[in-house]
Amino acid sequence: MQTALHEPLRLEDYVVHPERGFLPPQDPLPRLPDPYYEPWEAIAHDLPKLLVAGRVRKAVNQIPLLSTERLHTEAEWRRAMLILSYIGHGYVWNGETPPESIPANLAGPWYAVSERLGRPPVLSYASYALDNWRRFDPSEPIALGNIALLQNFLAGLDEEWFILIHVDIEARASDALRVIPQALEQAERRDLRALTQSLLQVATTLEAMYATLARMPEACDPYIYYNRVRPYIHGWKNNPALPKGLIYEGVEAYNGQPQMFRGETGAQSSIVPTLDGLLGIEHAEDPLRTYLMEMRFYMPPAHRRFIEAVENRSQVRQCVLESDDADLRHAYNACVEGVHRFRALHLEYAAQYIYKQQAKSAKNPTKVGTGGTPFMRYLKKHRDESEQHKVQVGG
């Protein structure tokens, strides 16, 4: 068991790319290549117009039940998950009241694709952000100014910008993720100088991620976000409008029983949990921790395993605590402060973009996040727990 702990951690074993981080190793497919899937693609293409017209459910009810057997590559499966998830959420949230069930011609393939990818049949962060972008110029970086969304709900500047901010952050995070394998080994060997350099790179990356997150208000207005972007990303767990969840018609595994899945949320990104694991930032056993662990169920399984591998192996905090090396401690604290600042800004946005808005229906509550939690209390606690992990430097 001890020997296994000291085997080098290889990013490729966890579908983590050295230049892209948790983003897919190849740019996402803009559409499914097989014309057989044109009924899905047609609705996905028209989704903003169908939502405005209130015709999503009518359009979905008219498509045939398609098999997933003609999906072959990983990119095709991920593209199918993206468009079925968008269509599914459009079906549920287009109208004054959500339906009690999703029809079999949508529920069946959505479930089949989700089983293949190892996450639930609901819109999650992986489809909303990780797989939902294209580059204008493939020779230029995956960054704001060179990326656009592949799929929207209503479309428009605010929705586009909100998601692209997350894509840019994911791309920037690769600079930190890339050094994690060596940082783990450096901590095990107690190579303090090398570990200090690795932690400084993580801290610099967190500053870059923060700078991108700070650009959110440039093109995403709180009122527009709350009333035009947010309503479609809610799930059906702990949602006042769907207290019993949703029935997935024709899915034998669910036996006709309503299912409860959480909505899309940034808490399903693997970046911060991975950095928590590296730095040894722990959260007390309470509903917040339970919720965060549940969020991993919505991540791509390989990324879930990566977080666990980093958590199980990291001796970084132990190494820092055992050492009185001021440079190492400063570098470690810079990382902890970076995580704290990132979470603090996220908390500010949660208050501004959600909590302070005026709820107009049970479908879009201000006190419950899209993941179905009382998010303000959780985010404050999360932020404060991060900062408490700073270590003392000097006497």
Task: Give 102's DSSP letter.
Answer: E
Q: What is the pLDDT of residue 346?
A: 85
CA–CA dist 140, 73 (Å, integer): 25
- Three-state SS for 122? coil
Q: Which residues pair with 134 in a beta bridge?
A: 148
Cα dihedral 243, 247, 253, 256 sign: positive
Candidates 230, 206, 190; CA nearest to 316 is 190
pLDDT at 363: 65
Q: What is the pLDDT of residue 34?
A: 98
Contact 375, 369 (CB under 8 A): yes
How many CB atoms within 10 Å of residue 97? 10
Say what the pLDDT of residue 4 is: 38
Distance CA 360, CA 368 (A): 14
Pairing between β-strand 101-102 and β-strand 247-248 as defined by DSSP bridges: parallel
CB 146, CB 136: distance < 8 Å:
yes
Minimal CA–CA distance to 299: which of 16, 75, 19? 16
| Residues 199/328, Cβ–Cβ less than 8 Å | yes
CA 288 to chain centre: 17
Give the H/E segment covering residue 56.
helix 56-61
What was the pLDDT predicted at 15?
A: 98
d(CA 241, CA 92): 11
pLDDT in the model for residue 361: 65
Q: For residue 74, give every residue at least 6 positions away whose Cβ sits within 8 Å of its Cβ, in sequence order, or none.
A: none
For position 256, what pLDDT does the model report?
96
Rounded to the nearest 10 degrees, what angle do helices 287-295 and 375-387 cross at? 90
CA 208-213-218 angle, to 5 degrees, is 120
Strand partners for 148: 134
Task: Specify the DSSP element, H or E, that contains 110.
Answer: helix 104-117
Radius of gyration of the chain (CA): 21
For the 2-387 domain, the top CATH level (class) is mainly alpha
Closest CA to 185 of 305, 319, 302: 319
Tens of pLDDT, residue by residue, the chain (395 residues): 333 346 889 999 999 999 999 999 999 999 999 999 999 999 999 999 999 999 999 999 999 999 999 999 999 999 999 999 999 999 999 999 999 999 999 999 999 999 999 999 999 999 999 999 999 999 999 999 999 999 999 999 999 999 999 999 999 999 999 999 999 999 999 999 999 999 999 999 999 999 999 999 999 999 999 899 999 999 999 888 999 999 999 999 999 999 999 999 988 999 999 999 999 998 877 777 788 899 999 999 999 999 999 999 999 999 999 999 999 999 999 999 999 999 888 888 877 887 666 666 666 665 555 555 555 566 666 667 777 788 888 75
